Amino acid sequence: MPRTKCNSCNAIKANPRPLYILLKRIRISMGEITTLEVRNYLKGNEGKVVTLDNIRNEFYIQKGSKSFHAIRVIMFRLAEEKVVKPTGLRPGEYKVLEPIMPVDFSLDGEEAEGVLDVKYPRSYIDDTTFGLDSMVELSAGDLVLITGETNFGKTAIALSFLGENLDLFSVSILMGSEYTSSAGEISPKLKRRLRRMNWVNWLQDGKPRFNLLPVEHDYEDYVEKDGLTVIDWISLPGEYYLIDRVLKTIKNGEDGGLVFAVTQKNKDAEFSEGGQRAERYADLVLKIDRFGEHESMMTIGKVKAAKGKSPTGRTFAFSISDYGANLQSIREIVKCPKCFKRGYVKVDGQPKKCPLCEGRKFIDKEIHD
């Protein structure tokens, strides 16, 4: 029998569009829409929102036909199978779920697997330290949040972390809008600050040992996946309710790296702009506030991996010298036992500045002990 040319096969070869389009054309002439057709359509929309009307329009389904009602039944069954889920916002609107596969793992490996040998800020002037290396543990993929009042040491702490850990990864990044000029050059202020941090070798063979990126938004798109990233600072004018979403995206994007993110905090506020949600995805939170007229204090906040007893709540005072470049006089402080952190005591019924803490609400731990 002589062979005859199959026009349908030629059409499939010539048309690269998804199979469901061809099935759709066949169905129009044959009858009711099938679950397979809907599944094939949804595969191209994973992670997106679709409606019943979207599907009906895609398949040229007319109102009053058998397929018009069948679409609703099919989507109901697919929701039971967790292929889609109703958004709850509008009737007939569904979120197409992305397929998730179980993670295969074993418990083999070293005890310290994934733990990073992070070096923490310290003073190279008087050799004082916060002692964070003995209190907290950071691992690959962690996010450290540095939050505080403006002009009281956030940048000094962030740059100290950068300078101490340039050898931790093969790539290090510093991003922030205030570090560069409009011409895309390093700002004179940052250049002076780095020079004064003379305990760091910022250059190697005349080239910077870190990448300076003038990023003002979309920070998550520039995070180094397997490197060190310092973001100073995250600004979301009028949209600070998005801070947890932004930090989650940043954390998800770093993979095996380490991120230090700086955020602003109002005076005497417990949390940074955006509130408590800003700390949801942080593995370590360091809060910077003023201490008296000329010093700063750092309070250890959330700690996910503590070495021994949790250090959350421990507070340290420090000074900033060399125009914001270096730390010194780091020491632990505790709540004043005389005024109980009020800053004043009553004398003859009148409030007077506490003579022990001099109104600063804290005293050096050594004095208390």
The amino acid occupying position 295 is E
Mean pLDDT of 186-201: 95
Q: Is pLDDT above 50 for 187?
A: yes
Backbone φ and ψ of 2, nearest 5°: -70, 145
Per-residue model confidence (pLDDT) at position 24: 57
| Residue extent(s) of CATH 1.10.10 domains in the chain | 13-96
Banded pLDDT at 213 (limits 50, 70, 90): very high
pLDDT at 3: 47
Third-level CATH fold of 132-335? Rossmann fold (3.40.50)
User: Quick one: pLDDT at residue 271?
Assistant: 87
**pLDDT tens digit string along 49-73?**
999 999 999 999 989 888 999 999 9
Give the span between the Cα atoms of 82 and 96, in whole angstroms: 9
Q: Which CATH number fits the domain 13-96, given the four candidates 1.10.155, 1.10.3430, 1.10.10, 1.20.950? A: 1.10.10
Residue 106, pLDDT score: 83
**CATH 3.40.50.300 in the chain, residues?**
132-335
Say what the pLDDT of residue 23 is: 56
**1 band by pLDDT with thresholds 50, 70 and 90:** very low
- Integer CA distances (angstroms), 10 to 5, 21, 26, 37, 352, in order: 8, 15, 16, 21, 94
Task: Supply the pLDDT for residue 170.
Answer: 95
The mean pLDDT value for 319-334 works out to 95
Residue 12 has pLDDT above 60, yes or no: no
Q: What is the mean pLDDT of residues 157-183?
A: 92
- Is the separation of the CB atoms in 250 and 257 below 8 Å? no
Q: Provide the whole-model pTM.
A: 0.78
Q: Name which of 178-182, 230-234, 356-360 the model is least confident about.
A: 178-182
262 neighbors 233 (Cβ within 8 angstroms) = yes
Confidence of residue 208 (pLDDT cuts 50, 70, 90): very high
- Cβ–Cβ contacts within 10 Å for residue 5, how many? 6
pLDDT of 248: 94
Question: Mind listing the pLDDT tens digit for each residue in 107-119?
Answer: 888 877 889 999 9
Express each pLDDT in 241-275 by its tens digit.
899 999 999 999 888 999 999 999 988 888 888 88
Least confident of 101-115, 135-149, 314-328: 101-115
pLDDT tops 80 at residue 283: yes
> Residue with structure tokens 């040491």?
153
What's the CA dihedral at 59, 65, 71, 72 to 10 degrees?
Answer: 150
Query: pLDDT category, 167, cuts 50, 70, 90?
Result: very high
Q: What is the pLDDT of residue 135?
A: 97
Q: What is the pLDDT of residues 76-88, one digit of tens each?
A: 999 999 999 999 9
Q: What is the pLDDT of residue 22?
A: 61
pLDDT of residue 369: 64
Three-state SS for the chain is CCCCCCHHHHHHHHCCCCHHHHHHHHHHHHCCCCHHHHHHHHHCCCCCEEEHHHHHHHCCCCCCCHHHHHHHHHHHHHHHCCCEEECCCCCCEEEECCCCCCCCCCCCCCCCCCECCCCCCECCCCCCECCHHHCECCECCEEEEEEECCCCCHHHHHHHHHHHCCCCCCCEEEECHHHECCCCCECHHHHHHHHHCCCCCCEECCEECCEEECCCCCHHHHCCCCCEEEEECCCCCCCHHHHHHHHHHHHHHHCCCEEEEEEECCCCCCCCCCHHHHHCCCCEEEEEEEECCCEEEEEEEEECCECCCCCCCCEEEEEEECCCCEEEEEEEEEECCCCCCCCEEEECCEEEECCCCCCCCEEEHHHHC
Looking at residue 302, its pLDDT comes to: 96
